Amino acid sequence: MDQTKDSIIQKFAAQRISAYIHQYHGGYDQRQCSCLRARKDLSLTIDLKKNPGAAHAHYSSLQTCGSIHSCPVCASKITEHRKNEIQEIIDKTADKHHYLVTLTFPHYETETCGESRRKFMDARRRMKNWSEVQHHTEFVPFRKILQHHQYDGSVTTVEVTYGVNGWHIHSHELFIFDKPVDDLRKFRADIFANWTKACLYSGIEIKKPLAFHRRAVQVDALHGDHIAKMTSYLTKISTGNSWGMAAELTKGSCKKQQNGNVTPFGMLFEILDNKNNMKKYGQKFWEYCQTFKGKQAIRFSKGLKKKYGIEEKTDEEIVTESDLLSSLYGFFEIGEWKNILKLKMRGFVLQNSDVEWNQLVEIINSEIRKRALQNDTKRKETIYASA
């Protein structure tokens, strides 16, 4: 199956699991329960629209949650937009020097997601605010490192996974310098000294110093083809497509698995694969969503967007903006839409919307008859089994 099409169905299926988890833990008033299901006004139709040049349609006149952390469908739109913003900045700073710095820290099974995030973010804040240290002239404060290389700006994302050692939180930060780093090893060592001090002051226990020294700080100098690859890497999402730097920064939560750990959206896919995984991952996904609710997933340094002429947009604005440029493709009446919801066909409709509307209607009607027959067969089998 076409990977783009397949990903459309996967996203809506995963969103359905997310909505169920939010309903179970938080009640029906959670926005995720209504996202791309309920009407946002009293209109009598559910419209499908297409953007200029787009192969597939999108739903209009429906409520959206605009959550990059808890909704795979909204997250896909938001991260794609952010990826394009990062790529534009990279293109406009082609004459400058780009470095990707990844920071991580020891994590333990006994810590909650909230505790891990608090310690990690506190350590990042401390590191960026260090001043000179008396009697330790070899220590170079992080701010001086940036000043020395004529810091132009940065883009940061915080990525989360879960595994046998609990919640693993780390950040990717793209630094843009006017002056190149002459000695990458010393550059990494200076950042490591700042990060180690920050972790200790934030109450992070370093039980294995050698492992921490090896893994805590990673620095990559980016040029030429590396920049193109890392653009996607900074906004990654599990669609089966290749990554680049912008993708790595923006789509970390959307990947399924990394190094044996599972990402938040990966938990939803695990539940889709086996409903028994709900016991294992349902509560953890809710914990993650509550911890990161309202938190920025992708952060641009102050003034960076304005400097390079990029318009500021909230996640909510990104999710709804496509309607301003799109044209009507087709529509469903309320009764038809309820039937599509009942048969879990929202993703199927968009998957097949790369044809004329009349053809799509025939495809939908055929699939409805097929699914209705399957449901009827299952119902009869249940009745016979209980007789």
**Is the CB of residue 195 less than 8 Å from the CB of residue 294?**
no
Closest CA to 361 of 335, 336, 326: 336
Q: For strand 166-177 and strand 58-59, is the pairing parallel, antiparallel, or unpaired?
A: unpaired
Q: What is the DSSP letter of 1?
A: -
Check: CB of residue 153 under 8 Å from CB of residue 307: yes
The answer to whether 243 touches 225, Cβ cutoff 8 Å, is: no
Length of the chain: 387
pLDDT of residue 56: 93
Residues 6+ apart with CB under 8 A from 216: 103, 104, 105, 192, 195, 196, 199
What DSSP state is assigned to residue 140?
-
Return the pLDDT at 66. 93
- Residue 93 CB contacts under 8 Å (≥ 6 apart), including other chains: 152, 176, 308
Q: What angle do CA 49, 55, 57 make, to 5 degrees?
A: 25
User: Residue written as tokens 């330790």?
Assistant: 136
> Contact at 8 Å (CB) between 161 and 263?
yes
Tokens of 43: 């209109």
Tokens representing residue 348 in the block: 């199927």
- Domain residue ranges in the chain: 3-68+320-386, 73-315
Rounded to the nearest angstrom, the gap between the alpha carbon of residue 290 and the centroid of all alpha carbons in its chain is: 15
Q: Which residue has the tokens 């699991």?
A: 17
313 vs 35: CA distance, rounded Å:
20
Count helices and strands in the chain by DSSP H and E runs: 16, 11
pLDDT score at 58: 93
What percent of the chain clears pLDDT 90, i.e. is strictly above it?
Answer: 71
Q: Can you name the residues that pair with 47 across neighbouring β-strands?
A: 331
Nearest to 227 by CA among 80, 102, 95: 95
pTM: 0.87
Q: Backbone phi, then psi, for 44, in 5-degree steps? A: -95, 0
Q: Show the low-confidence residues of the chain (pLDDT under 70).
A: 1-6, 132-137, 224-259, 322, 378-387
Q: How far is Cα 383 from Cα 386, in angstroms, rounded to an integer?
A: 5
Q: What pLDDT, on the 0 to 100 scale, is given for residue 258?
A: 56
Q: Of 340, 249, 264, which Cα lies nearest the Cα of 62?
A: 340
How confident is the model over 240-294, as pLDDT tens digits?
333 344 554 555 555 555 567 899 999 999 999 999 999 999 999 999 999 999 9
- Cα dihedral: 147, 149, 153, 157 (round 10): -100
Contact call for residues 49 and 60 (beta carbons, < 8 A): yes
Cα separation, 31 vs 268, in Å, equals 17
